[in-house]
């Protein structure tokens, strides 16, 4: 019988190696090089994609290494990456980050180091718990007269009580013996907490790549690398803006023993190492959203008594910026069997009648964030003013508010959302952009937006520094003070300014703004913005959920 059919018949048995409840799509066999290239299986004879949890197998490479008789060993190993280690993209990202810290200047080796580290846990589990022939698979791959390969194979020899030379080649130096013994203890001590030992494992691997001649040795591992580009086709992971770094062997002050906050550039590097194909705006958006979530204010459902009762009046075209749940799919399908969002999709339109029902009435947010040269670039370094803006914007959206965000820098240099919207992704993508130029507040946006009173109350919030004085001092064709005063009056929801001022009481423009009705919040550093953002939301949004 052809070995492919045998392997297909072993699939359910391989799943049960890990649990009776594991369900995965059967492995996909690739018969030609073109199929392997199309699926992204170019080095190893087997791999698993975390995107769809599909195991890929190269028929030609399995035959080349004479592995036809090891169906359970290889299938069980690939399933182990899904079920056991790393299990998900977030844990994979943590391992990548920790390895990058432990191996400075050799981050190009990170995917390989992480992959073989994960393999140690999976293979040891299958050998000890399921009594599979994992050592025989490595025998088929052949020995290599290479220090790093011998160190790795010696670790397996110690784990499985194999005589020295079973998997290794030649006489091993004391350093290899010692390193392998340490790693074998790590694998046994942290079978359910592999993140904890990653820093030490990578630190032990680091010296093997010091010499230039050893830089090519990673090619021996290509046949084993089955989690390269594990994140290909996936979005940047959540839950990794802070990573706990532990070390028993190489404690470094400021690095190990506590949680370390990632910068946006570090987060972006992790995504690249995992093969995640996302532009910088997508990566930055995910980073700041994840960073902001713990600071969002849990709003109570304060209500307005005597609110009008809504009565269905008909349908209208659905706005792509509105929530998906507003779409009336039945009416949309009746209108057109071909669904085109924003063109054939409709949402229900309601009128009002008197009732005793209650309703929440939040105000909208008009947010202006300074991103001139004096501000940090949120795409490379953690920008607290961007983080504060994200916290406030997400908290406002949580109440049902619409938000307009404007990034501004020099003359005519600004980026703004398409009006007041509720599309979280579009709002955060604008917020996390950057100019880094001169400083000139965009008065034209205030002038154009507040020619007439808006339908709902709005709060105008400006985050800046001493550059806020350009609101009045720039060469604008019309009276800046009249424009600012009119906007504040028309908005009806108040105005606030969070300003990092070098001399808070000696800026005449700031004093004038405060006297004209703006709430001024001077701060000493950008970390103060986090405290402000929480207080601001509670003061302006919780309070304003009850409107007359």
Residue 205 to residue 199: CA distance in whole angstroms: 10
The torsion angles phi and psi of 283, rounded to 5 degrees, stand at -65, -45
The predicted-structure confidence for 76-99, as pLDDT tens digits, reads as follows: 999 999 899 988 888 889 999 999
Give which of 420, 183, 435, 386 is closest to 285, Cα–Cα: 386
Which tokens in the block code for residue 236? 């940047």
Residue 400 to residue 409: CA distance in whole angstroms: 29
Return the H-helix or E-strand segment holding 185: helix 174-189
DSSP line for 276-290: ----HHHHHHHHHHH
Residue 100 to residue 102: CA distance in whole angstroms: 6
Write out residues in the chain with pLDDT < 70, as ranges.
1, 211-220, 251-257, 297-310, 313, 321, 352-361, 504, 526, 541-548
Between the CA of residue 514 and those of 49, 162, 509, what are the distances in Å?
A: 57, 78, 9
Give which of 502, 507, 510, 370 is closest to 440, Cα–Cα: 370
Please calculate the CA angle 488-491-496 and round it to the nearest 5 degrees: 55
What is the CATH T-level fold of the domain 364-545, as seen in this structure? Rossmann fold (3.40.50)
pLDDT score at 211: 65
Reading phi first (left if > 0) and then psi (alpha if -120 to 50, else beta), residue 420 is in beta
The torsion angles phi and psi of 258, rounded to 5 degrees, stand at -160, 170
Dihedral Cα 441, 527, 294, 97, nearest 10 deg: 100
Residue 118 to residue 136: CA distance in whole angstroms: 19
Q: How many CA atoms lie within 13 A of 134 on its CB side?
A: 26
pLDDT score at 155: 97
Instruction: Write 469-474 long-range contacts (CB < 8 A, 24+).
Output: 469/507, 469/509, 469/510, 470/439, 470/440, 470/441, 471/441, 471/443, 471/509, 471/513, 472/509, 472/512, 473/509, 474/411, 474/440, 474/441, 474/443
Contact 155, 120 (CB under 8 A): yes
Secondary structure class of 465 (helix, strand, coil): strand
pLDDT score at 301: 37
Residue 360 to residue 354: CA distance in whole angstroms: 16
Which tokens in the block code for residue 57? 């197998």
Beta strand 458-465 pairing with 492-500: parallel
DSSP line for 211-245: SGGGGGGGGGGGGG--STTTTTT-PPPSS-SEEEE
Which tokens in the block code for residue 154? 């010696």
Residue 518 to residue 44: CA distance in whole angstroms: 63
Residue 319 to residue 191: CA distance in whole angstroms: 50
pLDDT score at 445: 95
- List CB contacts of 253: < 8 A, sequence separation 6 or more: none
List residues bridging with 242 in a β-sheet: 261
- List CB contacts of 254: < 8 A, sequence separation 6 or more: none
pLDDT score at 158: 97
Q: Tell me the CA end-to-end span of the chain in Å, nearest whole number.
A: 80
Residue 407 to residue 423: CA distance in whole angstroms: 17
Contact 11, 28 (CB under 8 A): no
Beta strand 364-370 pairing with 458-465: parallel
pLDDT score at 376: 87
Between the CA of residue 433 and those of 101, 280, 383, what are the distances in Å?
A: 27, 9, 11
Contact 401, 361 (CB under 8 A): no
Give which of 270, 276, 286 is closest to 96, Cα–Cα: 270
pLDDT score at 298: 54
Give which of 493, 500, 504 is closest to 529, Cα–Cα: 500
Residue 388 to residue 376: CA distance in whole angstroms: 13
Contact 335, 346 (CB under 8 A): yes
Give which of 457, 312, 433, 458 is closest to 383, Cα–Cα: 433
Domain coordinates in residue numbering, the chain: 1-15+25-83, 87-278, 309-353, 364-545
Count, residues in the chain: 548
Residue 268 to residue 391: CA distance in whole angstroms: 21
């Amino acid at each position: 019988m052809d070995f492919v059919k045998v392997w297909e018949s072993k699939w359910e048995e391989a799943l049960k190696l890990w649990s009776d409840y594991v369900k995965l799509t059967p492995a996909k066999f690739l018969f030609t090089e073109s199929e392997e290239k199309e699926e992204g299986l170019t080095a190893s004879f087997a791999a698993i994609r975390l995107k769809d949890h599909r195991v890929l197998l190269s028929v030609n490479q399995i035959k080349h290494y004479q592995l036809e008789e090891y169906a359970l060993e290889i299938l069980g190993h690939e399933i182990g990456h899904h079920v056991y280690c790393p299990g998900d993209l977030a844990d994979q990202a943590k391992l990548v980050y920790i390895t990058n810290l432990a191996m400075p200047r050799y981050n190009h080796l990170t995917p390989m180091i992480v992959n073989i580290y994960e393999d140690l846990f999976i293979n040891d589990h299958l050998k000890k718990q399921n009594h599979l022939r994992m050592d025989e698979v490595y025998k088929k791959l052949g020995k290599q007269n290479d220090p790093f390969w011998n160190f790795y194979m010696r670790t397996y020899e110690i784990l499985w009580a194999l005589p020295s030379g079973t998997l290794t080649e030649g006489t091993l130096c004391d350093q290899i013996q010692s390193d392998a013994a340490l790693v074998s203890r790590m694998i046994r001590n942290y079978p359910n907490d592999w993140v904890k030992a990653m820093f030490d494992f990578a630190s032990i691997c680091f010296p093997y790549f010091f010499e230039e001649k050893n830089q090519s040795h990673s090619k021996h591992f290509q046949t084993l690398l089955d989690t390269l580009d594990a994140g290909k086709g996936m979005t940047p992971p959540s839950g990794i803006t802070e990573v706990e770094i532990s070390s028993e062997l190489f404690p470094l002050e400021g690095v190990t023993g506590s949680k370390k906050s990632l910068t946006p550039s570090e987060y972006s590097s992790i995504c690249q190492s995992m093969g995640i194909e996302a532009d910088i705006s997508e990566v930055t958006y995910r980073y700041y959203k994840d960073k902001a979530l713990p600071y969002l204010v849990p709003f109570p459902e304060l209500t307005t008594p005597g609110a009008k009762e809504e009565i269905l009046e008909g349908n209208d075209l659905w706005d792509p910026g509105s929530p998906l749940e507003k779409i009336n799919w039945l009416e949309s399908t009746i209108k057109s069997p071909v669904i085109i969002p924003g063109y054939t999709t409709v949402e229900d339109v309601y009128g009002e009648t008197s009732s005793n029902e209650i309703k929440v009435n939040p105000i909208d947010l008009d947010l202006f964030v300074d991103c001139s040269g004096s501000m940090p670039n949120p795409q490379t370094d953690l920008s607290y003013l961007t983080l504060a803006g994200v916290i406030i914007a997400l908290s406002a959206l949580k109440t049902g508010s619409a938000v307009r965000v404007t990034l501004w820098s020099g003359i005519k240099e600004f980026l703004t959302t398409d009006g007041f919207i509720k599309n979280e992704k579009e709002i955060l993508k604008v917020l996390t952009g950057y100019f880094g130029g001169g400083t000139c507040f965009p008065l034209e946006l205030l002038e154009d937006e507040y020619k007439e009173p808006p339908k709902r109350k709005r709060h105008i919030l400006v985050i800046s520094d001493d550059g806020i004085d350009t609101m009045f001092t720039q060469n604008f064709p019309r009276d800046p003070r009249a424009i600012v005063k009119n906007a504040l009056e028309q908005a009806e929801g108040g105005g606030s300014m969070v300003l990092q001022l070098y001399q808070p009481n000696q800026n005449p423009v700031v004093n004038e703004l405060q006297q004209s009705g703006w709430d001024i919040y001077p701060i000493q550093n950008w970390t103060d913005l986090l405290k402000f953002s929480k207080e601001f939301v509670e003061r302006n949004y919780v309070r304003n959920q009850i409107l007359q």
